Amino acid sequence: MYINPPEKKDMDKVGAFVKRQPVTATAEATLLDAVKLMASHNIGLVVVVDDAGRPVGVVSERDVIRALARGAQLSEKALDVGTKGNLLVAKAEEDIYSAVKKMRERGTRHILVVDDAGRLVGVVSIRDLVEDRALKAIGDKVWWPPPEE
Amino acid sequence: MKKVGELIRRTPITVQPSDTLLDVIDKLAQHEVGALVVVSPAEQRRPLAVISERDVVKALAMRMPLTTPVEAFMSTRLITISPEEPVDKAADLMITNNIRHLVVVDPDGSLRGVISIRDVLRALRT
């Protein structure tokens, strides 16, 4: 289920792995706002964007857990417990393998996909990558539906 | 293809059903893991359920107090796998059940460990 169905030749590009609209919050969002977004969308990462839609930070489930473990309140600013700046980003036309490499080096489960103006267009998660790897590894086994092309 | 058992990197971190969400939060943060195995006090080697970061986030979104017992938010629909299974079977289970962790159990049903989607991706790539 792709937002923009990729051409077959583009299947190795980051853009081909963006499978849903990104879930975003503003810099004013509280930890509770972020938690509610995660729960209602069943996702593990909320991206904080500026007025132009450019990512300025991310808040992950793990950030929430760590914050609470050190006694943070849900009324705190989400951005204060997440990662602010120095975000892991890729362009849609970038090779997926360089994106995977960056994720592994940083130890993150997500990479933000941005356009030429730096605006957020999507998020690729480790799940999207495992899905693709699994499809390739499993190949033509009958109990697995064929990969969409 | 690697076997699931080769991906287990540590003894599983466990909690009991009567422990609190705060206990879970502390253990998740302390051990830097994404999920804990819930076991009964009587049978420490028999997994009952899993409680993950996602389960905690859902509880927080409902404004549940951190004193809420684990049993209120744990996932009792336990998805397990044998250590002898190939890694692609683990990937399949994670994708079809939309989960990031699998509980690895021996043939007698006793708890062996937990593998994460990160472990699986690493194994599929190598």
B29 contact A CB<8A: yes
State the angle between helix axes of B87-97 and A126-138 in degrees (0 to 180), rounded to the nearest 10. Answer: 130
Q: How confident is the model at residue A6 (pLDDT cuts 50, 70, 90)?
A: low
Contact B120 A38 (CB under 8 A): no
Catalogue all structural domains in chain B, each as residue range(s) with its CATH number: 4-125 (3.10.580.10)
Contact B121 A129 (CB under 8 A): yes
B67 contact A CB<8A: no
B126 contact A CB<8A: no
Pairing of strands B80-81, B101-105: parallel
Provide the pLDDT for residue A138. Answer: 45
Q: What share of chain A is helix, strand, coil (3-state, %, to 5)?
A: 35, 20, 40
Instruction: Provide Rg for chain A, Cα atoms.
Output: 16
The domain segmentation of chain A, as residue ranges, is 8-138
Q: What percent of chain A has pLDDT over 90?
A: 60
| Cα–Cα distance, B9 to B32 (Å, whole number) | 13
Contact B26 A69 (CB under 8 A): yes
pLDDT in tens, chain B (126 residues): 899 999 999 999 999 999 999 999 999 999 999 999 999 999 999 999 999 999 999 999 999 999 999 999 999 999 999 999 999 899 999 988 989 999 999 999 999 999 999 899 888 765
Q: What percent of chain B has pLDDT over 70?
A: 98
B85 contact A CB<8A: no
Taking CA atoms, what residue in A is nearest to B1? A137
Residue A28 has pLDDT above 70, yes or no: yes
What tokens appear for B38 in the block? 């819930």
Burial of B25 (0-12, 13-18, 19+ CB in 10 A): buried
Which residues 91-120 in chain B show a CB within 8 A of chain A?
91-92, 94-95, 98, 100, 117-118, 120
Who has greater pLDDT, A3 or A75?
A75
Angle at B119 (CA atoms; ends A126, B77), nearest 5 degrees: 85
Provide the pLDDT for residue A135. Answer: 58
Provide the pLDDT for residue B124. Answer: 78
Instruction: Quick: pLDDT tens for A79-88.
Output: 999 999 899 9
Burial of A50 (0-12, 13-18, 19+ CB in 10 A): middle
Strand positions, DSSP E, chain A: 24-25, 45-49, 55-60, 83-84, 89-91, 110-114, 120-125
Q: Which helix (H) or strand (E) holds A112?
A: strand A110-114
Provide the pLDDT for residue A140. Answer: 36
Provide the pLDDT for residue A98. Answer: 87
Angle at A109 (CA atoms; ends A60, A144), nearest 5 degrees: 125
Which residues 84-143 in chain A show a CB within 8 A of chain B?
100, 104, 109, 126-127, 129-131, 133-134, 137-138
For A8-138, CATH number?
3.10.580.10
